[in-house]
Chains A and B, each alone.
Chain A
Amino acid sequence: EDQVTQSPEALRLQEGESSSLNCSYTVSGLRGLFWYRQDPGKGPEFLFTLYSAGEEKEKERLKATLTKKESFLHITAPKPEDSATYLCAAEDTGRRALTFGSGTRLQVQP
């Protein structure tokens, strides 16, 4: 059974304090690893897709990396507007639906 685990559940940072969010996944074959951002009361907003170990993608203060067992979302010098829940999801080669982790709630204080 596919499984995605995110840690920590919640993270509080000071503005400018860099950190990383972890996503561990277990799938029979990885088609893609997805990161989303979700603000309260809204649907998830797509951030990145990673397809193979060693791949990295960047967008503004965010960088996502992938290994054969984990993905990391690195946040460099975060700002209060980066506060949100970050969701990780894996797509197995055997099915089209995404298996989501329970998310990391990030709060960045000014």
Chain B
Amino acid sequence: GAGVSQSPSNKVTEKGKDVELRCDPISGHTALYWYRQSLGQGLEFLIYFQGNSAPDKSGLPSDRFSAERTGGSVSTLTIQRTQQEDSAVYLCASSKQGGGNEQFFGPGTRLTVL
């Protein structure tokens, strides 16, 4: 079956512009996660969605970052007024449910802010 897909695969933008990153989780997975991987560093949690519950936004680094999940499926991560330090690979993952289940990752979106 299809895995987690993300688009675009690469995004180059200018400092101050807004960007939207998209994630399509595995069909039937109710939990969806966003992580950020900066060069040479580990994955950093950003936000978690589980079904219709309020999302866990505890990892968002600033109020320029936001995410939504429509219809319990597709998710969009939005970064407003991008800064150079936002340059990273943004990874999306989904799992059958939150809690103890393996997360399956997409290929990521490489964001470069000039």
Contacts and interface: CB of A to CB of B under 8 A. Distances in A.
Interface of A: 4, 31-32, 34, 36, 41-46, 49, 51, 87, 89, 91, 95-103
Max chain A CB contacts within 10 Å: which of B41, B43, B50, B107?
A: B43
B21 interface: no
A51 B100 contact: yes
Contact of B98 (A4, A34, A36, A96): A96
Interface residues of B, number: 28
A99 to B, nearest CB: 7
B36 to A, nearest CB: 11
Interface of B: 4, 31, 33, 35, 40-45, 48, 50, 56, 58-59, 91, 93, 98-108
Nearest to B102: A46
Contact of A31 (B4, B91, B99, B107): B99
Contacts of A32: 100
A98 B48 CA distance: 10
